[in-house]
Every structure is written in structure tokens, then in C-alpha cells.
Amino acid sequence: MTQAWLKEAYERRVERILALPGDGQQVRAVAVVGEFDLAMFVRSSADFAACVDPDIGMAWQQSFTRTIFLAGDPHNLVERQPAAHLADDGSVAWYGPDRPEAYEGLSRLLRPLSGPTGLGVVAERPEVPLSWSADRSVDLVAVTSEVSLEATVVHINHLVAEAVLTGALNSAGAIKIRTVEQIDAIEGECLAFRVAPRDGNDESLRCFGYLRWSE
């Protein structure tokens, strides 16, 4: 997986998003994360994207599915500020997507999510059922080695949310999560992938994850 290939893939995503119909209104989502569990986060990310109004979802895609991740206890917030979606175990509250100023109060109240680097590499994690019924399963292959918690949630949410919004996961009823140290090649029938700058360096790109049909 060369830098030239990664650059082409990165630019294709940008071109696809810029070509979407709409007025270019910028929106963003906000996620308040309590106790972090990777499987529950993946499910709640997919479920939240699935419940977004199609017109708002298009605007969110045009905004590159931008999401602000904050640290806090969702249970302390939802009574005062009801969430658009609450994870099944209450560990993540999702808000929006809406105009950036809509949730400035949350951003002032809570600190940005941060955590340790590296969630550990596990070849196979438990299967994550999705909220809609379908027969097939997909693999989510994600790089977690030497990636901070805040970067991990950003990359996984971009990957999963965009796959839901574009319909790539319509035929998937469950996600199997694999965490790896490095992605050198995409194996199998790829549905979507996440390419982004490495450590904020626009000159160096990295594949942080991809979705493929399970064998």
C-alpha cells in the first residue's frame, strides 16, 4: 500500500463528497463518551448514523461526517439535553448533526475526549449485531496500535458512519471487529476504507481501517 495509492484514495473521497448535492451547509455531530467499549462504540456509531434524517445525513456527509468527541457521563446529560441516540448500555450519547453553534454549551461544559495510545491488538472480537435485520456480516479491520483513543474514535466513526449513510452496510446485520498493528493491504471484498494523514502530517497518509464482507 504505497503513498501514491493512499493519496489517490484520499483524493477520491474528497472529490466524491464535494460532488454531493446540497447547499454546502456545514453541520457536525457531538458524541459524549463515558466508559469506552470498542464494540458498543461501533454499534452506537452505526445506529446513530442510521437514525439521521436523510437530508441532514447528506449535509453531514458534505461536512465530512465531522464529529466532536467529549468526555462525560451521558446519564448526567440526557435529562437536561436529550440525545438523538443513546448507546444501549448508556456509554455514548450522540447529538445532532446540527450547525456548529448548536452544541457550543456542551463543548464548554465538557472536556475533549482523550485516552491512552493503543487499545491492544486482538485478532477477533465478539460480533456486534446491528439494529437492522440482515443476513450478512462484515469485518471491521482497524489499526489501534500506536493510535490514541481520541484518534481511534474519529477514524472508526468516519468509516462506519459514512458506510451507513452511503448504504454500504444495508445488507449487513453484524460487524466483526479485528484490531491490527498495521494495514499493508486490503484483503477481501472491500466496502469502505479510511485513509487519513498520519499524526496530522498531510504529507504522510495511512490506512486506519476498512470494512469488508466476512468470509
Task: Give the start-to-end residue ranges of the domains of the chain.
Answer: 3-213
From its phi and psi, is residue 60 left (phi > 0), alpha (psi between -120 and 50) or beta? alpha
Residue in 53, 77, 60 with CA at minimum distance from that of residue 24 = 60
CA pair distance 90, 78, nearest whole angstrom: 10
CA pair distance 177, 164, nearest whole angstrom: 16
Question: Does pLDDT of 121 surpass 60?
Answer: no
Q: DSSP code of 151? A: H
Q: Rounded mean pLDDT of 118-124?
A: 59
Answer whether 149's CB lies under 8 Å from 116's CB.
yes
Q: Rounded mean pLDDT of 105-112?
A: 92
- Pull the grid cell for residue 185: 493491504
Q: DSSP code of 97? A: E
Res. 200 pLDDT band, cuts 50 70 90: low
pLDDT of residue 25: 86
Mean pLDDT of the chain: 90
Question: Does pLDDT of 165 surpass 70?
Answer: yes
Q: Rounded mean pLDDT of 157-168?
A: 96
